[in-house]
Amino acid sequence: MQEIIAAFGLDWKILLVNGLNFGLLLFVLWYFLYAPVMRMLEERRERVARGVQDAEEATAKLSLAEGEVKKMLTGAGKEAEELLSKARKHGAEKERELLAAAQGKSDQVLKEAQALAEEERRKALESSKEEIARMAVLAAEKIMRSSVSPKP
């Protein structure tokens, strides 16, 4: 073995120092480079895993929110339909009330007009009776004057 080491030009002292230097270099690189890089990779892996989990939770929340929105829209549509139905019913009821009030008012106006016309007719008849009575008196007076006056 000595011959092989001598053939390759190796010195055991240099080999030992190189081994210690390699071990020291390996320790320094592991402590200052490998461990921090591994910590950084682990943190990044955790961040990615947390991001995936957050994305899954956000997707679940989004689907729940979409379901709620659909429920709310359906409820709002039903509520709007009910309000519209109530408004139509109320409008039809109000229309009937207004028509009934207008019919009542027109009946009242017609009765008042008929009563006024009847009153005017009665007054005209009374006036005519008075006029006829006055003319009859005048005619009778004229007849009496002509029968009372001497005939020449």
Main-chain dihedrals φ then ψ at residue 125, nearest 5 degrees: -65, -45
Domain boundaries, the chain: 2-148
The string of pLDDT tens digits covering residues 56-107 is 999 999 999 999 999 999 999 999 999 999 999 999 999 999 999 999 999 9
In the 8-state DSSP scheme, what is residue 150? P
What pLDDT was estimated at residue 152?
55
The CA distance from 116 to 101, in Å, is 22
For residue 144, what pLDDT band results from cuts at 50, 70 and 90?
Answer: confident
| The dihedral sign for the CA sequence 62, 64, 70, 76 | negative
User: Can you give the pTM of this predicted structure?
Assistant: 0.41
The string of pLDDT tens digits covering residues 8-50 is 777 778 889 999 999 999 999 999 999 999 999 999 999 999 9
The string of pLDDT tens digits covering residues 107-138 is 999 999 999 999 999 999 999 999 999 999 99
The CA distance from 44 to 50, in Å, is 10
What pLDDT was estimated at residue 24?
96
What pLDDT was estimated at residue 150?
60
Q: Using an 8 Å Cβ cutoff, are 12 and 5 in contact?
A: yes
What pLDDT was estimated at residue 6?
75
What pLDDT was estimated at residue 110?
93
| The dihedral sign for the CA sequence 55, 61, 65, 67 | positive
What pLDDT was estimated at residue 10?
76
The one-letter amino acid at 144: M
What pLDDT was estimated at residue 12?
78
